[in-house]
Structure formats: C-alpha cells, structure tokens
A and B are shown apart, each in its own frame.
Chain A
Amino acid sequence: MSFFEVMCGNLFSVGITVIFHVCASLLLLGEIPYKNRKHYYTIFGSLILYIFAAALIGSVFYKTGMFAWPHEGGEIIFNYVEIVGIMLFLRVMYEKPYEICLATSVFQIILYAVGWNLADIFAPDKFYHLEIQSERREYLFQEWVMVPLALLLVIGLLYRTRAGKLFSQWEGQKLGPAVLVFLVLYPVLSQIVQETVEISAKDAGYNPATAFIFLLIIYMIFMHTGREGIQQKRIEDQEVSLRQQGAYIENLEGLQKEVRRFRHDFKNMMSGMYLQAEEGNLEAIQGYIQEMTEDFDLQVGSQIRLMNQLANIRVTEVKGLFLEKLHTMQKEEIHCELDVLKPFKETRVRSTDLCRCLGILLDNAMEEVQGKKDGRVQIMISSQGGYTTFLVKNTLYSSVDFHKLGTAGYSTKGDGRGIGLNNYKRILGKYEKALSLTTIQDGYFIQELKIQES
C-alpha cells in the first residue's frame, strides 16, 4: 500500500475521530463561549490542522513500522500525540486553563477507547493484513462503520446521563498535580494494566477491560473531587450564614439600643406635648409629631430597611460580600443605601468572579468617599426581565481621568493603586454577556455591571 493511500485512509479515520471529539467536548464543556465568525474560523482551521497532522504522523508510524514496536510503543506515542492535539484544540475552542483542557482531552481519549472496544466486541478476533484487498476492506468496514456506530452510542450515553453537569462540577475545582500526572500517564498505565491483566492478550494488543477500568477510576476521581467541591461550598455557605446571623444579632442589638434611646426621648416629648396640648398650642404639637417621625426613620427605620434589602440577596457569596462591605462602611461612618427591590437569586457569571468584580466596584466607591462628611454610597441590585444590573454610585470629589481609568496602575487615589479596575475589565472580558458602564453625572460617579441572563 502506498504512503498516499495510507494517508487518505487515515484522513478519513481521523476525521471521524475528530467529529466524535467535537461532539464529546460540546457535551462535556458546553456551548462554545464566543459565537462569532472569526472564532468559528479559528476552530475550524485548527481542526483541519489537527486532522492533517494526526493523519500524517499515523501514516509515518505505520510506514516506518513504529506501530509494531514491542509493548505497543508506537501506539502509546501516537496516543500522546492525540492527547496533546485535542488538548490544544480544546484550548482554542474554549480558552479554558490548560489543565482542564488536558484532563478533558484524556477523558475523551478514554471514552473513545471505550467506544472502540465496544465496536471491537463484534469484530472477528484476528489481525488484518492491510496489504490484502479483502482484509483491508473488512478492516475499513470495521473502522469506518462499526466504530462510528459505537462512538455514536457513547455520545448518546453522554447525552442521556447529562455528563456535562457532573463534569462542570469538578471543572471549577483545582485539579491536584497527582490527578493530572495520573491522567497523563493513562496510555502507559493502560498498557501496563493490559499486560498484567492478561498476558496472553499481549498479542492482540488491547483488552476491553482496561479502558473500562480506567473509565471507572477516573469517574471515581471526578466524583470525589466534585463532592469535595460541594462540601467545600457547603462549608462556605455555612460560614457566610453564620456571619450573617452574627451581623443580624449585632444589628438587632444596635436596634434595641436605638429603641431604648428613642423611648427615652419619646417619653420626654410626650410629656412636652401633653403640656402644649393643655395650653392648646397646636403648632407646637405638630412640630413634636414631625420631629418624632423623622427621628424614628433616621434612627431605627434605616437600619430595618437595610436588613430588609439585604434579605433579598439570595446568592450566598454575594450576600457575604455585602455584609462585610456594609459592616466596614458602618464602621467608617460612610452613609450607604442599598436597593434590592426584587430577590436576586442567580446569575450566569461565576460567583467568585462576580464577587471580585463587585468587590472592586465597592472598594472604589468606598475609597472615594472615605473621610468625607457628606459622602454617600448608593448600591442597587436589580434583577428583572432576564437581566441583572449592579449599580454602585458614589459622590465624586476628585476629577476622574477617564482615559486612564481601567489602565493598570491608575487610580484617583494616588499612585500604586487602580489595579482594581484593570482586573475588573479582564474578568469581565471572559463573559460575552456581561457589559460594564461608567458614567459621571450630577457630581456622582456611577459604575454599572449588566449581565444578560437568558
């Protein structure tokens, strides 16, 4: 068989493999993040490049006889070529960190092996001599019809079991180096397992059990790290709710103090009012009543209001952040108002990213009004109609150089600051459906973050 013929055959086979990998990654990692023509072109280009490279390497290996090396050496090397290739392709497609791409790539290779083994169960137990026409046809039927069918089955299983959900669970976790090393060693390890499990299978070069065993182990690892993540999250949630309860109690105690003070004033006022009433001085009585309602709103009402609004934030991490920031503002005597008209329950932006962004916005606002007598910070969270808006507004004292805003190292608050907004831009850059707006209006500096949820 000529090199050209091998190459053509390989191109077709690798093409099928690639279709499988694209489907699998769509199921595991979800939608492609940037939906525009240019990104699609890049993805498509890298796919073609991968197909050609893999086919070429495969052909060279076949022609030079590397596939016949002892202990399947050539096969293992080729496996690594595939792993690296798919990792790079996933990186291009999703732009996720390399370790995630690597882990996903290995996982997909294993899935592919499972599919391949499935098809192989129905295949005759023999070596094909590709030089013989009839055997080659048989081989190609196996490779181009049976294997794709089996792969389709695997894809179907992935879809039915909603593997993507499970996958995204550990994706947020940091994979330990040990797990990564284990995953990377898959081709070598599988060969070792193969040879020990069934020494007689050495000739056949594979054993369906190994891929399944690996799948099981990796599934367990994923389950474990995923569960660890859930536990971690639960602990964090509890911490936040504890802090929140602490804040509530503190607040209630404060309220009680205020009420006590108010009661004291109230008694005095009442007796004053009684005297005025005896004299029939209506105006003075009106004045008393007005003063009293205002005092109440000022002393007690605003605290109650703040707590009511806070209760509408249902995303634990965000609530924790606000509790902390509101506490700081209270300590520094910064006048702050919070508006959460409708419950804020969820958002598409990952909560760690969201908290970092909001933290930056809040810190900016707080720094600007710190120590100023009439400074105020107003915060609004609005979630309705499929959009979430965060608005942080503060009185502006210094002039803002808009053109330096968002560049590293610039801030209205002196040198060495201002990394904040730069980071903020960078984080938001990851999300196509999150936009940022900044405005100066009527002496206020207004920072907005808008997220499209649907």
Chain B
Amino acid sequence: MLPVYICEDDAMIRAAQKEYLRKQILMEGYDMEIALCSGHPEEIIRAVRESPGRGIYFLDIELKGEPMDGFGLGQEIRRLDSRGFLIYVTAFQDLAFETFRYHLEALDYIVKGNPRKMQEGIRHCLKVITERMRREEGEEREFFSVKVMDVVRHIPVDEIVFFETAGRTHRIELHAVNDRMDFIGSMQDLEEKFGKRFLRVHRAYLVNVEQIAQLDLKSREILMKNGEKCIFSRNMKGTLLERL
C-alpha cells in the first residue's frame, strides 16, 4: 500500500485536498492510504524516516513560517525515498516546475486556487501513478546509470548504440537511440562493465553488437541500425565477422 503525504500550510486547502484524495482512493479502489497531512515539513520528514518506502507526496511550495520551502522538503524526501512520487500543489506565480522536475524528478504540478482544477489535477496524478506502477511491474529492462555532474541518467542498455571517446580528454560521448550525451569516464571501465555484448572495435569506439546493421569491410566502417557509422581497426575484422 502506498502512503500519501500532504504538506500544505493553509488548513482549509489541506482539508479539502485530504477529503478529495480520500474519496478518490475509495471510489477507484487505489492501493493507497493517507498517511499524514501536515503544515510542517519536519513532521513529514520524520514520518517518512520512520516508515521508509515508496510514497506519494503532495507538497506546497511556499510554506509560510517554516524553516524550509517545498523545494528543500522535496530534496529531503528524495534522499529518503528515491522512487517516490512528488506532486507540487502551488499558486501560479511560484511555479518553476522545470527546475523541480529536473532536480527532484517531480511528477507533476497542480495549480491551486481553483477547486475544480485542483480536483482534476489530483485525479490525473493518481491515474498516472497507478499506470506507471503497473508498467514497472512487467518491466525487466536493464539500465545503464551514469552520473553527469549533479544528475544521474538511466539509459536502457538495449538502446545504447555505441560509446565514443573524444580525443584526449576523459570525455565519453554516448550515442543512444533517443539520447546523445557527454560524460566523464573511461572506456576500459565500460568495456569491463558490459562484457561480451559490447565490442571495442576501435580505440575510440565501444559498440553494442546488437545495434550493428552491416559491415563495410573495404572502408572498415560499421553501419549502425540508427544510421550512424563508426570505424573499426584492422585486427577486429575477424572478431566482428565471427560475432555477426
């Protein structure tokens, strides 16, 4: 059962949120329960610390008279619950949602002030959460997690096309079906990490064997499934032919 937390400093709005959430959970038969409604972020943090696990959090951004705002609270919660669902309930002008999504992986935001809209938002969020939970259950995809400065990215391994080193720096460029990103790392580590599925076809390239479309032996080029090309060194020819 997923615990739901509400942090909102306005008692009236808090009560309205709680009431509506309770009704929705009951009506739709969601596997959730309201764990705590509070105007104090510390209380929320304490409660999460005492019963660790994945939760749903409806948070106000501006918390008057409190030592932290919604952003700080979100950071604390993320530390305790890395996979929880954060939803920000906020007045329009406080909104900086891209930042919240970027740093806290916030799920969504709801603009308060309009009860109908707020209810609609809550309904939508609960639906998205249950859908996402269902999808995760069936999924056994392997991800490659990489730290890029202050954020961590997860790329499905089967979507990675190849890694490329950029000259003399430790910068590695990851080419994936939907991503293209730089990170600092070492090819050797990657080679060890992925083992047989990836081939170091050249000093500068580590290629996902699954993503190879065809070889051009004459110009020593590999054409990848997404249309990208990379070269391979002479002594890799045999190994490549063997693996394909």
Contact = CB atoms under 8 A, between A and B. Distances in A.
B116 interface: yes
B226 A403 contact: yes
A96 interface: no
Contacts of B228: 402-403
A437 B102 contact: no
A403 B181 contact: no
A194 B180 CA distance: 61
Given A39-B168, A436-B182, A401 B98 contact: no
Given A301-B92, A339-B97, A403-B229, A293 B102 contact: no
Contact of B92 (A297, A393, A439): A297
A387 B149 contact: yes
Interface stretch (A128-136, A141-149, A209-217, A304-312): A304-312
A293 to B, nearest CB: 5
A309 B182 CA distance: 28
Nearest to A405: B180
Interface stretch (B19-27, B30-38, B76-84, B170-178): B170-178
A64 interface: no
A391 B97 CA distance: 13
Main secondary structure of the interface of B (DSSP, over half): mixed
A339 B168 contact: no
Interface stretch (A70-78, A171-179, A377-385, A412-420): A377-385
Interface of A: 34, 36, 38-39, 290, 293-294, 297, 301, 304-305, 308-309, 337, 339-341, 378-380, 382, 384-387, 389, 391, 393, 401-406, 429, 432, 435-441, 450, 452
Contacts of A294: 114
B2 interface: no
B93 interface: yes
A195 B149 CA distance: 60
Main secondary structure of the interface of A (DSSP, over half): mixed
B97 to A, nearest CB: 7
Contacts of B227: 401, 403-404
A290 B93 contact: no
A359 to B, nearest CB: 20
B101 to A, nearest CB: 9
Contacts of B114: 290, 293-294
Contacts of A301: 92-93
Nearest to B155: A439
B181 A436 contact: yes
B161 to A, nearest CB: 8
Nearest to B71: A341
Given A34-B168, A440-B178, 11 more contacts: A36-B169, A301-B93, A309-B96, A341-B71, A385-B150, A391-B98, A402-B180, A403-B229, A436-B182, A438-B181, A441-B178
A380 B226 contact: no
Contacts of B181: 435-439
B194 interface: no
User: Closest 7 interchain pairs by CB?
Assistant: A403-B228, A380-B98, A437-B181, A435-B182, A339-B98, A339-B96, A341-B96
A335 to B, nearest CB: 14
Contacts of B71: 341
B113 interface: yes
A379 B114 CA distance: 26
B111 to A, nearest CB: 8
B142 interface: no
Nearest to B176: A402
B45 interface: no
Nearest to A309: B96
A293 B170 CA distance: 53
A432 B169 contact: yes
Contacts of A439: 178-181
